[in-house]
A and B are shown apart, each in its own frame.
Chain A
Amino acid sequence: GQQLNQSPQSMFIQEGEDVSMNCTSSSIFNTWLWYKQDPGEGPVLLIALYKAGELTSNGRLTAQFGITRKDSFLNISASIPSDVGIYFCAGQLETGNQFYFGTGTSLTVIP
């Protein structure tokens, strides 16, 4: 299957700091998604991106669809304790409807 490399694997940050994470692939994707998963819960969709270069915000979260269509980025500004969780990227290839998920970035926010 497709391999989505997500980095960093984990982050420990102070409350109020900004966070950046990214997802790369060797294949071209036509859709990128970012999810957050809390312990014991299913992933929740944060942002969906459909065009190369697209920059979309959802509150303090901003995600970008890379120009090469092989990567995507997620930024969280002014982190707060409830941002704690695992963030996943997911991509959809040009052909077919299957979504492939990254391995996740575990975020810990220290108050």
Chain B
Amino acid sequence: KAGVTQTPRYLIKTRGQQVTLSCSPISGHRSVSWYQQTPGQGLQFLFEYFSETQRNKGNFPGRFSGRQFSNSRSEMNVSTLELGDSALYLCASSPTTGNTEAFFGQGTRLTVV
């Protein structure tokens, strides 16, 4: 069974640009959650999507958005990038919403210069 796949693995963007990250969950999993990981703040919850609907949202500005497609794949978008957005972005897939059996991808390392 394939694991959670995140693309790209690494990304360098310039301040002010926008970026889209992709996450393909484990086959059969319908919930995808996104997290931002930084050395100073640790793992912080961004949002969760289940059945193409946002179910939960963390405390991040509106520049951070996401969506989920009918095949459960999810994308996360960050607009007007700031230097502080540099982080490892992780996605986790679960069979259902709020399920504890969450499996993480390897993450996308975003660097904003």
Total residues of chain B contacting the partner, CB 8 A: 24
Tell me if A48 and B58 are in contact (CB < 8 A). no
Interfacial residues of chain B within 66-113, with CB under 8 A of chain A in the complex = 90, 92, 97-98, 100-107
Tell me if B55 and A97 are in contact (CB < 8 A). yes
Tell me if A43 and B90 are in contact (CB < 8 A). yes
Which residues of A are at the interface with B, using a C-beta cutoff of 8 A?
Answer: 1, 31, 33, 35, 40-45, 48, 50, 88, 90, 92, 96-104
Interfacial residues of chain B within 5-55, with CB under 8 A of chain A in the complex = 33, 35, 42-45, 48, 55
B-side contacts of A33, CB under 8 Å: 100
Residue in A closest to B99 when the chains form the complex, CB atoms: A97
- Total contacts A-B at CB 8 Å: 55
Residue of B42, B59, B97, B105 near A101 (CB, 8 A) is: B42
For residue B50, give the distance in angstroms from its CB to the closest CB of chain A: 9
A-B contact pairs, 12 of them (CB 8 A): A1-B45, A43-B43, A43-B104, A44-B104, A45-B103, A96-B56, A97-B55, A100-B45, A101-B35, A101-B42, A101-B43, A102-B42
Residue in B closest to A88 when the chains form the complex, CB atoms: B43
Report how far A88 CA is from B102 CA in the complex, Å: 14
Tell me if B42 and A103 are in contact (CB < 8 A). yes
Query: With A1-B59, A88-B43, A104-B42 known to touch, is A98 a contact of B48 (CB < 8 Å)?
Result: yes
B-side contacts of A100, CB under 8 Å: 45
A-side contacts of B35, CB under 8 Å: 101
Report how far A1 CA is from B58 CA in the complex, Å: 8
Tell me if A42 and B106 are in contact (CB < 8 A). yes
For residue A40, give the distance in angstroms from its CB to the closest CB of chain B: 7
